[in-house]
Amino acid sequence: MKLLEGKVAIITGASRGIGRGIATVFAQHGAHVAFTYSSSVEAAQVLEKELNALGTKAKGYKSNAASFEESQKLVDQVVEDFGTVDVLINNAGITKDNLLMRITEEDFDKVIEVNLKSVFNMTKAVQRTMLKQRKGSIINMSSVVGVKGNAGQSNYAASKAGIIGFSKSIALELGSRNIRSNVIAPGFIETEMTAKLPEDVIKEWRQGIPLKRVGTAEDVANVCLFLATDLSAYVTGQVIHVDGGMLT
């Protein structure tokens, strides 16, 4: 059974990692996928081909979600190409980790801009379409770090905590129009970024997780799938932890 048959989803930062996993699961469930990437042209082309091979319509767009103007243009283009937008997944994000005493103003600003301002930009850009059709699901990617904090990640934690406050506010603003806004807070997920970590660090993390394993992009994608479909029709303003029980 395809849970997203004919729905149109925009996924930011989907050429790799969690975003790629979400795009794949959505296409498998019949969604048409418009995804953005910032620099990985080859990876984006490969993904586009793979998604189209699943029998769905998919298209990659080189777009910087941190730019207000580019976000507006992107959504206009997607509506032109696909006809509408039913689901928005704000997944684009970066890290520039450092202790407060060493972090530069530029590194703080950049992480806030890419991780948090992009969520505002894209949500504002899809709002008109969703209001017109009186339905929509907005899913924003936060992190356990946004809930709990983490030494050496003050910029990242601030951006991810900001996403939670923003999403809850949007849930209150747009709920009467049947537009839902929820947050996923992933824990330790296996991606290209975590693949660079030494094995002993991963082992230590794993021991602190009640389910005793590292999460996969598919684990996150499946929760996204739930939030994008009518299975979660009465769920809005929530933060769902996909962390194997890390913050229990």
Active site residues: 156
Structure tokens at 224: 């996204």
Backbone angles phi, psi at 118, to 5 degrees: -60, -35
Residue 87 CA: distances (Å) to CA of 11, 25, 135, 152, 248: 8, 14, 9, 33, 29
Q: Is 51 left (phi over 0), alpha (psi -120 to 50) or beta?
A: alpha
CA distance 92 to 12: 5
